[in-house]
Structure 1
């Protein structure tokens, strides 16, 4: 049995026609969202490219406390290929990718690569987590300052995990919102 309703002009509209219209509208909406996302990613400053001088100076001047005590200065990483990963203990994809990042650090440290984890989390939660699941790369307690740093590097939504890859010469060569893959890390390691 087919149901009908009246259109704006008073003529009956078949239910299958309505479904097709809704489907068409849904596909169009997805296309608009995908296009907006692509244009955001391709806009100047969102993808690859050099940090502007003020942004670079602010980045390399940052310092963060370490979960086990002491200080982590980003200036210590300047001039090396650097993968900065913003993460939190309460973020399942963040936790899932940490062993992958740890392996990447161990396998590529001879090539001067450095992984840096910036935890957007409570210090006690990070210390407890790293006590159970240690990593070989340095971790900084970034908190809200880390969220602002992430935004300045292109993470406008503040989502996690978020990864930024900076080449030896200071160019941002990759930004990734979401969990990384071994294939992405292999590709990035050749471009640093």
Structure 2
């Protein structure tokens, strides 16, 4: 029985060492944005490689989502505020959103940025199985996901973070 007493402390120590190693390798490192391909409403084909050197705001939304519709003027204002400074926005309509509704919304609201319809759900899947809308990703110039917002972001804090990311080399 005495020989078993050391097993629990040894297992605890091993878990701490493994956890510490994992944390040192992963914490503070941003996940790379997936290499998505998409088609914009105007028929233009695009992909994430075109985001290189830009700060990107990728917003998953739906016309049936009241929070999405409510926050869209703030998304537009954010785009307008930073668009001349290596910043861009992509609005990704969810696969269940009727394409005619998306096109009508984009046209009637004069969305000043690219709008893609995720017909197959593949873009949402590649971004970590996005299911809730709105879900917004902020990606730095190196293509790393810096922040994921589920629900409406605090836009003042978002703008502050965009400023910081734009200032990075």
Q: Report TM bin, short chain.
A: 0.7 to 0.9
Distance change in 2, residues 1:178/1:47 (3 Å):
farther
Structure 1 segments unaligned to the other structure (5+ residues): 1-43
Give the TM-score normalised by the residue count of structure 1.
0.64
Match of 1:49 among 25, 30, 33: 30
Deviations 1:162-187 (A, max 9, x none): 01111111222111100123213222
Please give the alpha-carbon distance, in whole angstroms, between the structure 2 residues aligned to 1:109 and 1:178: 23
Matches within 5 A, 1:84-99: 84-99=58-73
Distance change in 2, residues 1:183/1:46 (3 Å):
farther
* 1:111 partnered with 2:88: no
The count of aligned residue pairs is 139
* 1:134 partnered with 2:110: yes
Distance change in 2, residues 1:118/1:45 (3 Å):
farther
Please give the alpha-carbon distance, in whole angstroms, between the structure 2 residues aligned to 1:47 and 1:140: 31
Please give the alpha-carbon distance, in whole angstroms, between the structure 2 residues aligned to 1:46 and 1:164: 18
For residue 122 of structure 1, what is the aligned residue in structure 2?
Answer: 98
Distance change in 2, residues 1:180/1:48 (3 Å):
farther
CA radius of gyration, larger in: 1
8 Å CA contact retained: 1:48, 1:172: no
Deviations 1:22-65 (A, max 9, x none): xxxxxxxxxxxxxxxxxxxxxx97996132xxxx5xx23x2222
Higher helix share: 1
* 1:175 partnered with 2:140: no
Distance change in 2, residues 1:45/1:64 (3 Å):
farther
Please give the alpha-carbon distance, in whole angstroms, between the structure 2 residues aligned to 1:46 and 1:101: 29
